[in-house]
């Protein structure tokens, strides 16, 4: 629960507020200048000049790939097991395959391979396929894999890195590095692939960008806007089946759907099993096969939800007496593929950095999430010698550690983070556009707000504070009563995942809520409704 509300604007929006006034409030809150209107509301199709990468490195990479295609050399695209990594791999593989390249894709197994390129995994795959790869292209990984790539390059394999992660001081010595921290791995993969084929899959690039929580401003916004348009009109067969089986509407697919409906299904198989099935789905051109893979991914996602719920309960029970400014939980019951989700949930709930470890016999995997006041990767790098491998960003990281060293490391990192955050009052906050009255909840304002889509990081869906609302009706929704439907004075509201509040709220009670505006389409009728983010007492 948040402890403070931050208002972007102090104006109160009511029935007297014109559409133009509301429009200008939203523009001002996003610091969008008049000179930027056209780019924001009519974003251009992404072009080569939009990407801030070293063009000399790009030319070397393009020339090497063209040579490999011409000479029928063997190419391996080595990705990652999350949505961004799988989409990155699929985008580049599709293009090179269409061009007639002898190319294979590979995504590592979370447990057996681990994160990032591993020389051992690469050589094992060569043996399995009885192929020597003349060219290796890493996508969404590779920028910190100096030792692993050095070992591979000794075996007469040229290497191209396409990555967006934070580099260390020493870059790998490879043929070419296409790198920028401003984009998702999928966006960089699309950029590279589009240099060979302008029809590279921008819908997959948008999916990876949203799933990897990239800021939806500037060129990232352009990628997602045009990627969504591609998905609305002509998604690839695998994504089309995934859209169908998940129950969302293709022609109105949104960033929410990519981040919370489609993305989790692509991720789920890699969390619980080998992610290759997700890659096969995205690369599939056969409708029957795509349907089978989509059904399997949907089942994996349902299993993931149940396991996550059980693991989260275990984690919550471990926190009863925590007084540190760090959540640190190690448990052999935790699945490696679920710990990132647990860390994210705990950091969101308690507003503390979290380190969650899946304990193995000899080695253990950790996933970390942080608050804005602490750069988690910098803190972890202070103890790099205690870890087997480490990677990540300011807000999220992961590492492998010897199981026997967990307790010693816990003492060190807890002391370090307690010191880092000693004089900082960690107060979770929620930001709203302004206060709004129910009288301003109408179809015109809903449509105006939707002009600011797609919503995401740095362009969030507008939230408003509504004060002193009297509950006229209420009921729970969903097969297990997970959601709560409320009715105020002429306005309906849906509160997802808040069904448990039904027992504490009564008809006639007055409450404050923080909510966004939405259009509810039902049986041909369109009505405005509120989507509730928070409920709290008057």
Closest CA to 126 of 155, 98, 97: 155
Closest CA to 517 of 465, 454, 456: 465
Size of the chain in residues: 538
Whether the per-residue pLDDT at 239 is higher than 90: the answer is yes
How much is the pLDDT for 115?
83
How much is the pLDDT for 443?
96
Whether the per-residue pLDDT at 506 is higher than 90: the answer is yes
Whether the per-residue pLDDT at 161 is higher than 70: the answer is yes
Tell me the C-alpha distance between 71 and 94, whole Å: 19
**Alpha carbon of 425 to those of 120, 349, 369, 429: distances in Å?**
46, 16, 18, 12
- Report pLDDT digits (tens) over 425-484: 888 889 999 999 999 999 999 999 999 999 998 999 999 999 999 999 999 998 778 899
Taking residues 82-107, report their average pLDDT: 97
Point out the least confidently predicted range of 174-183, 427-436, 519-528: 519-528
How much is the pLDDT for 178?
98
How much is the pLDDT for 189?
98
Q: What tokens were used for 536?
A: 């709290």
Whether the per-residue pLDDT at 275 is higher than 90: the answer is yes
Closest CA to 65 of 155, 186, 163, 160: 160
Residue with tokens 């990652």: 80
Tell me the C-alpha distance between 476 and 473, whole Å: 11
Q: What tokens were used for 431?
A: 């930001």
pLDDT tier at 1, thresholds 50, 70, 90 = low
Cα Rg, the chain, nearest whole Å: 24
| Cα atoms in the Cβ-side hemisphere of radius 13 Å centred on 182 | 13
How much is the pLDDT for 169?
85
- Report pLDDT digits (tens) over 344-399: 999 998 999 999 999 999 999 999 999 999 999 999 999 999 999 888 788 899 99
- Report pLDDT digits (tens) over 108-138: 998 889 888 999 999 999 999 999 999 999 9
Tell me the C-alpha distance between 509 and 525, whole Å: 29
Tell me the C-alpha distance between 471 and 490, whole Å: 11
CB–CB of 386/412 below 8 Å? yes
- Report pLDDT digits (tens) over 9-56: 999 999 999 999 999 999 999 999 888 888 999 999 999 999 999 999
Taking residues 194-202, report their average pLDDT: 97
Residue with tokens 């909840």: 441
Kindly provide the b/e burial profile for residues 65-91, where b requires at least 16 CB atoms within 10 angstroms of the residue's own CB: beebbeeebbbbbbbbbbbbbbbbbbb
Rounded to the nearest angstrom, the gap between the alpha carbon of residue 210 and the centroid of all alpha carbons in its chain is: 5
Whether the per-residue pLDDT at 88 is higher than 90: the answer is yes
pLDDT tier at 2, thresholds 50, 70, 90 = low
Q: Which DSSP category does 44 fall into?
A: P
How much is the pLDDT for 258?
96
Residue with tokens 């109408």: 442
Q: What tokens were used for 278?
A: 């997700």
Residue with tokens 């709004």: 436
The residues pairing with 357 across neighbouring beta strands, listed in sequence order, are: 330, 366
pLDDT tier at 260, thresholds 50, 70, 90 = very high
Rounded to the nearest angstrom, the gap between the alpha carbon of residue 251 and the centroid of all alpha carbons in its chain is: 22
């Amino acid at each position: 629960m948040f402890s403070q509300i931050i208002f972007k604007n102090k104006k109160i929006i009511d029935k007297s507020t014109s559409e133009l006034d509301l429009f200008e409030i939203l523009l001002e809150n996003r610091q969008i200048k008049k000179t930027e209107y056209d780019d924001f509301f009519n974003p251009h199709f992404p072009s080569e000049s939009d990407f801030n990468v070293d063009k000399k490195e790009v030319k070397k990479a393009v020339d090497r790939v063209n040579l490999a295609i011409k000479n029928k050399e063997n190419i391996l695209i080595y990705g990652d097991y999350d949505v961004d990594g799988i989409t990155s791999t699929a985008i580049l593989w599709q293009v090179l395959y269409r061009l007639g390249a002898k190319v294979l894709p590979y995504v590592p197994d979370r447990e057996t391979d681990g994160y990032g390129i591993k020389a051992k995994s690469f050589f094992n795959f060569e043996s399995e396929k009885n192929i020597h790869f003349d060219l290796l292209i890493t996508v969404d990984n590779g920028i910190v894999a100096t030792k692993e790539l050095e070992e591979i390059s000794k075996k007469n394999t040229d290497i191209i890195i396409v990555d967006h992660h934070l580099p260390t001081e020493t870059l790998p010595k490879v043929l070419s590095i296409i790198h920028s921290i401003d984009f998702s791995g999928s966006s960089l993969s699309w950029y590279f692939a589009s240099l060979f084929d302008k029809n590279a899959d921008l819908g997959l690039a948008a999916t990876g960008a949203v799933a990897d929580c990239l800021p939806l401003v500037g060129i990232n916004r352009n990628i997602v806007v045009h990627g969504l348009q591609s998905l609305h009109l002509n998604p690839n067969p695998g994504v089309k089946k995934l859209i169908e089986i998940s129950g969302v509407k293709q022609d109105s697919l949104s960033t929410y759907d990519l981040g919370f409906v489609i993305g989790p299904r692509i991720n789920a198989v890699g969390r619980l099993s080998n992610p290759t099935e997700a890659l096969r789905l995205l690369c599939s051109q056969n409708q029957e096969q795509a349907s089978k893979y989509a059904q399997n991914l949907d089942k994996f996602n349902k299993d993931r939800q149940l396991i996550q719920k059980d693991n989260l309960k275990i984690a919550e029970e471990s926190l009863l007496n925590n007084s540190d400014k760090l959540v640190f939980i190690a448990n052999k019951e935790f699945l490696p593929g679920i710990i990132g989700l647990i860390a994210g949930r705990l950091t969101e709930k308690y507003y503390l950095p979290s380190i969650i470890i899946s304990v193995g016999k000899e080695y253990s995997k950790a996933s970390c999430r942080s608050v804005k006041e602490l750069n988690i990767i910098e803190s972890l790098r202070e103890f790099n010698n205690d870890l087997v491998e480490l990677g990540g960003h300011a807000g999220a990281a992961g590492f492998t550690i010897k199981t026997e060293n967990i307790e010693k490391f816990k003492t060190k990192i807890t002391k370090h983070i307690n010191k880092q955050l000693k004089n900082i009052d960690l107060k979770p906050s929620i930001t709203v556009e302004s206060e709004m009255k129910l009288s301003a909840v109408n179809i015109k304002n809903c449509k105006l707000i939707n002009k600011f889509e797609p919503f995401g990081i740095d362009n969030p869906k507008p939230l408003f504070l509504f004060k002193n609302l009297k509950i006229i009706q209420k009921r729970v929704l969903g097969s297990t009563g997970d959601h709560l439907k409320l009715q105020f004075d002429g306005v309906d509201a849906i509160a997802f995942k808040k069904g448990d509040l039904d027992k504490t709220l009564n008809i006639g009670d007055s409450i404050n809520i923080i909510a966004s505006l939405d259009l509810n389409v039902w049986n041909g009728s369109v009505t405005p409704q509120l989507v509730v983010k928070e409920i709290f007492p008057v």
